[in-house]
Chain A
Amino acid sequence: MSGRDVFVIADNVFSPLGKTTAENFSGLKQNRSAVKPYQYRSQAYCASLFDIGEFPASQTGYTKFEQLLIASIQNALGLSGLSALDEKTVLIISSTKGNIGLLETEPVTPALHERIGLSTSAELVAEYFGFQHKPIVISNACVSGVVAILAGMRMLRSGQFEHAVIAGAELVSEFIVSGFQSFQALSPQQCRPFDKNRDGLNLGEGAATIILSSDKKYEGAIKVLGGGISNDANHISGPSRTGQELANAIEVALKDARFSAGDIDFISAHGTATQYNDEMEANAIALAGLESVPLNSLKGYYGHTLGAAGILESVISIQSLKGNFFFATPGFEETGVTKPVNVSAGAFQIPAKNLLKTASGFGGCNAAVVFGK
């Protein structure tokens, strides 16, 4: 597809493993996982949650969700050297549940309805930094983060903006834990993506930011090369039986990048460690002709950060691409999916040029994005 090159010029991961991408990368290099055991209503589950001391310093007037976004954006903006005041910069926010935890502590009034709203948070965060344009908010289940990156890529390609600050955040409230527990989707142990003994997912808190630019002075930086989004049209809470629709999104992403399957050196998979997701995803990867490409899932390190996952896992994988150093899939020992995809049990080094990031979620949504050198 047409258009200008879109460069990744700065990023941040703010998670229980660290406050910057560099801190997170070094934690992962030591094979540290943020996933720990907890209990909800006398059932064990595991999650990656902030301890009090790991949370950003509190700022009056902002909810925890907004503080998390602000901390992540602040670090990435600082690294980029860009100003939020720049007329040609757009802010894009992704989250599934944002401030929903307020339902648990605040009286329900019309004012609370508005305070919970994702556009309220986005406006507050935009005003905090002084962004000149109305922020864009994407809430599309667990593909939100990948969709937000693609939205930013397109706004730069079309020349509408020159820079895009794309941030996602998610907190694990009782609302979310109880819901996933009611679905019997939570593993009592560290999750095991693509493994024979996988038994559900871990939830995770965190924020991540990626800053894109079409300015040619960033030539040489990692590029966002293309993307695709699809719907299963099958079931609202279960993925496609065949994986064909995620495979379609991957194929659209490859075509957008003017690539064929052979151009992809590494896949950062969604890999939630639920029975259905991983089976579907392996089918899709095989259908797209990528079954031999090394892949990982970072869910055993961070849990599933829902609306932030697409950005968080993209940022880590972009760092991997820069250093040709790719992380393990914690919990993976023996394959438990029908299609023989190439899941990496341990960290590895390969000369890599391009990577594919995939995501899928409730509502039958799938998304894929390609990054490259």
Chain B
Amino acid sequence: MEQRINVLSASYFISSSSSIGNGFVHKDGTLIFEQTVSEGSALLLSVYQHLGFNYPKFYKMDNLAKLGWLAAENLLTGDFKHESYHPERVGLVLANTNSSLDDDMKYWNSVKDIASPSLFVYTLPNIVIGEICIRNGFKGEHTFYIQEKFDANFIIQQVNYLLDNDILDACICGWVDFLEKDFKAVLFLVEKKAIDLAMAFNAENVTSVFNLSA
């Protein structure tokens, strides 16, 4: 049951990419942080501190939102200029396998005692999109898909539709998944104009960035 591919040509560009995995952080394909930590949430805290971010709301997020938020900060650090876009014209297309299951299990454990509203609010996968939008003021279209595994062609189709049909001018897309010991975020900033070092937004480039490891 393969998805049909409907990508004729790559007309858009990957201006930046960001990935966070078990023990490493990449920015635009370059390794910028490496640490052997056995536990995911400890690694996320190390990344937050190492990259010098200062955003108190980070501490109240669940692991999935922290992971996606950090990957988005890393993605947008540098050349991205918020003021060059209308907030309504920047959006997100994200996917993962495990939805919000990491937080779902923590929330369900809290129910045995007193149900925690601060855990419950993160029991939806799209909350990570909300956190990235709040941080950056992005107000455009966004969707969270659940997929068995990363499907570069599917993500490219969705983003191309939004850019082709003038629904967005820029789109952040990719994968953010966190379940216990396994986690991975890979985000792409896709724009209509090529800036320095921009790669074509196509399956080959997206897949090669997705498969980077430490």
A, B in one complex? yes
CB <8 Å contact, A233 and B134:
yes
A178/B111 contact (C-beta < 8 A), A233-B139, A363-B129 known: yes
| Contact call A362/B136, Cβ cutoff below 8 A | no
* Contact call B127/A132, Cβ cutoff below 8 A: no
Shortest Cβ distance from B44 into chain A, in angstroms?
18
Quick check: A119 and B1 within 8 Å, CB to CB? Answer: no
B208 close to A (CB within 8 Å): no
Does chain B have a CB within 8 A of A141?
yes
A102 to B205, CA, bound (A): 39
Interface size on B, residues (CB 8 A): 54
Q: A342 at interface (Cβ–Cβ under 8 A)?
A: no
B167: A residues at CB distance < 8 A: 252
Interface: B21 (CB within 8 A)? no
Taking a contact as CB atoms under 8 Å apart, the answer to whether B142 and A231 are in contact is yes
- Chain B min CB distance to A224 (Å): 15
Contacts of A1 in B (CB 8 A): 165
Interface: A108 (CB within 8 A): yes
Known contacts A103-B108, A118-B146; decide if A236 and B140 are in contact (CB<8 Å). Answer: no
A87 closest partner in B (C-beta): B4
B37 at the interface (CB under 8 A from A): no
Choose from B91, B98, B130, B165 the contact partner of A236 (Cβ within 8 Å): B130
A83 on interface, CB distance cutoff 8 Å: no
Check A231/B140 contact, CB under 8 A, given A133-B1, A362-B127, A364-B133: yes
Contact assessment for A132 and B105 in the assembled complex, using a CB-CB cutoff below 8 Å: no
Given contacts A123-B148, A236-B121, A237-B121, contact A231 B101 (CB under 8 A): no
Q: Which of B112-120, B183-191, B192-200 forms part of the interface with chain A?
A: B112-120
Q: Chain B residues near A230 (CB, 8 Å)?
A: 88, 139-141
Query: Is the Cβ of A235 less than 8 Å from the Cβ of B98?
Result: no
Q: Does chain B have a CB within 8 A of A305?
A: no
Q: With A118-B99, A179-B107, A248-B88 known to touch, is A235 a contact of B134 (CB < 8 Å)?
A: yes
Chain B, residues 27-52, CB within 8 Å of chain A (1/0): the string is: 00000000000000000000000000
**Are B120 and A179 in contact (CB-based, < 8 A)?**
yes
Contact partner of B97 (CB less than 8 A), chosen from A117, A126, A237, is: A117
Residues of A within 8 A of B87 (CB): 233
In the complex, the chain B residue whose C-beta lies closest to that of A231 is: B133
With known contacts A113-B101, A118-B99, A233–B143 Cβ distance under 8 A: no
Q: A117-B97, A118-B99, A232-B133 are in contact. Are A133 and B4 (CB under 8 A)?
A: yes
For window 223-271 of A, CB contacts with B under 8 Å fall at 228-237, 245, 248, 252
Are the C-beta atoms of A138 and B143 separated by less than 8 Å? yes
In the complex, whether A197 has a CB less than 8 A from a CB of chain B is no
CB-defined interface of A129-169 with B at 8 Å, one 1/0 digit per residue?
Answer: 00111111111110000010001001000101000000000
Cβ 8 A contact of A151, one of B3, B98, B122, B143:
B143
B2 interface residue (CB < 8 Å to A): yes
> Which range holds the interface residue count of chain A?
35 or more
B80 contacts chain A at the CB level, 8 A cutoff: no
Q: Is the C-beta of A51 less than 8 angstroms from some C-beta in chain B?
A: no
Q: Which residues of A contact B130 (CB under 8 A)?
A: 231-232, 236, 362-365
- Check B179 for interface membership: any CB of A closer than 8 A: yes
Q: Which residues of A contact B129 (CB under 8 A)?
A: 140, 231, 363, 365
Q: How far apart are B192's CB and chain A's nearest CB, in angstroms?
A: 18
Cβ A160 vs Cβ B1 within 8 A = no
Assembled-state Cα–Cα distance A252/B144 (Å): 20
B139 touches A228 (CB 8 A): no
Given contacts A119-B148, A131-B1, A230-B88, contact A245 B139 (CB under 8 A): yes
B86 to chain A, nearest CB (A): 10
Chain A residues closer than 8 Å to B3, beta-carbon distance: 133-134
How far apart are the CA atoms of A364 and B121 in the complex, in Å? Answer: 12
Question: Which residues of the other chain, B, contact A104 by a CB distance below 8 angstroms?
Answer: 108
A117 vs B154: C-alpha distance in the bound complex, in angstroms? 19
A175 touches B111 (CB 8 A): yes
Write out the residue numbers on chain B whose beta carbons fall within 8 Å of the beta carbon of A178: 111, 115, 120
In the assembled complex, the CB of B31 is this many whole angstroms from the nearest CB of chain A, namely 30
Report the separation of the CA atoms of residues A153 and B18 in the bound assembly, to the nearest whole angstrom: 32
A182 on the interface (CB 8 Å rule)?
yes
Q: How far apart are the CA atoms of A12 and B71 in the complex, in Å? A: 41
Which A residues are in CB contact (< 8 Å) with B123? 97, 100, 175, 179
Among A122, A140, A175, A233, which residue has its beta carbon within 8 angstroms of that of B144?
Answer: A140
Can you report 22 residue pairs joining A to B where beta carbons are below 8 Å apart? A2-B165, A123-B148, A139-B145, A140-B129, A141-B127, A151-B143, A158-B6, A174-B111, A175-B104, A175-B107, A182-B116, A228-B141, A230-B140, A230-B141, A231-B138, A231-B140, A236-B130, A248-B88, A362-B124, A363-B130, A365-B126, A365-B142
Known: A182-B116, A233-B138. 11 other contacts (CB 8 A): A119-B148, A126-B1, A131-B1, A140-B125, A178-B111, A229-B142, A229-B143, A230-B141, A231-B130, A231-B139, A231-B142
Residues of A within 8 A of B (CB): 1-2, 96-98, 100, 103-104, 108, 113, 116-120, 122-123, 126, 131-141, 147, 151, 154, 158, 160, 174-175, 178-179, 181-183, 228-237, 245, 248, 252, 361-365
